[in-house]
Amino acid sequence: MIILIQCTDQVGLVAAVSKVMADADLNIISMREYVNAEANRFYLRLEIADGDIKASQVEEQLLKVLPSNCSIFINTAVKKRVAVLVTKEYHCLGDILLRNYFNTLGASVACVVGNHETLRSLTGKFDIPFHYVDHQGLSKEAFEEAVSAVLKGYTFDYIILAKFMRILSPGFVAAHPHRIINIHHSFLPAFVGASPYRQAYERGVKMIGATAHFVTDTLDEGPIIAQQIIPVNHAYSIKDMVTLGKEIEESVLAKALQLVLQDRVIVDGNKTVVFEN
């Protein structure tokens, strides 16, 4: 059982939560806490050994000892499921499918949905359902309705945008709050939107990077989960940067998925608290 808590900070919170666990005869395997003193916010991640008590009972007892504005998330699921949205680029999808095949993803891939047929054959090699939803001639709303219709046929915890090169509408995002994860080919907040490597090349940067973040209504400005950078110099062409960028995109997305799927990320406004270990 994983428990994530965020609330206003006050003296004695760790002791109070620990007492709830002890009274319920639950063994704490790990406990990580963080206090944002400036915002007076308290964050806690608990890993609890399996016990006889139900999650609803644990939450009920926690609510009695925590501040009234607290947020509690309890996960008892053994393994999560993800849906993946793609366009034409294969590298991030390929990495996800390989990790899924060797049971190192931390979740199972329920389906892949693409607005091009390009990645059907790759997905098929791993016996994962692939659904083609053509966006040509459709409004954004009609296209997303078609995608949503496909997704309704599956159970999933998160939607992964594995180089899905379309901007989602506020309505679609609102239907999956903090459940859509995007990999952006830039070290945000620099070079948002399209062609970030060309932007980086023209600016003459000395490093490029990638950012995995939750999707919100504002383009490429959702809560950041993970980022990485790699040094470059004047001798790197745009093509060189793109090649390196694909490698770092795979790495960053894999790291972000590991953190999210292990319930190590707490979203608070447009920021995240990440308990890496």
Place of tokens 């849906």: 83
> Could you give phi then psi for residue 221, rounded to 5 degrees?
-125, 15
Residue 55 has pLDDT above 60, yes or no: yes
- Of 166, 168, 271, 263, nearest to 221 by C-alpha is 271
Alpha-carbon span 39 to 152, nearest angstrom = 39
Alpha-carbon span 33 to 44, nearest angstrom = 4
Residue 187 has pLDDT above 70, yes or no: no
Alpha-carbon span 113 to 131, nearest angstrom = 5
Residue 211: strand pairing partners: 184, 227
232 vs 47: which has the higher pLDDT = 47
pLDDT bin (cut points 50, 70, 90) of residue 181 is very high
Residue 63 three-state SS: helix
Alpha-carbon span 84 to 160, nearest angstrom = 5
Mean per-residue pLDDT, 245-271: 94
Identify the pLDDT of residue 80. Answer: 93
**Domain segments of the chain as ranges:** 2-75, 80-274
Mean per-residue pLDDT, 63-69: 94
Mean of per-residue pLDDT scores for the chain: 91
Kindly report, residue by residue over 128-164, the tens digit of the pLDDT.
999 999 998 889 899 999 999 999 999 999 999 999 9
Identify the pLDDT of residue 188. Answer: 55
pLDDT bin (cut points 50, 70, 90) of residue 241 is confident
What's the CATH class of domain 80-274?
alpha beta
Identify the pLDDT of residue 7. Answer: 96
Mean per-residue pLDDT, 118-132: 97
For residue 5 the two structure tokens come to 């808590």
**CB crowding 157-196: b at 16 or more within 10 Å, else e:** bbbbbbbbeeebeeebbeebebbbbbbbbbbbeebeeeeb
Q: Which fold has domain 2-75?
A: Alpha-Beta Plaits (3.30.70)
Is the full-model pTM beyond 0.85?
A: yes
Identify the pLDDT of residue 208. Answer: 81
217 flagged as catalytic? no
Q: Which secondary structure element, helix H or strand E, spans residue 141, and what is its range?
A: helix 140-151
Greatest alpha-carbon span in the chain: 63
Residues near 166 by beta carbon (within 8 Å), at least 6 away in sequence: 87, 115, 135, 143
pLDDT bin (cut points 50, 70, 90) of residue 194 is low
Residues near 70 by beta carbon (within 8 Å), at least 6 away in sequence: 5, 6, 7, 8, 62, 63
- Bond from prior residue into 189 cis (ω within 30 degrees of 0): yes
Catalytic site residue from 52, 220, 240, 263: 220
pLDDT bin (cut points 50, 70, 90) of residue 239 is confident
Residue 77 has pLDDT above 80, yes or no: no
Identify the pLDDT of residue 108. Answer: 97
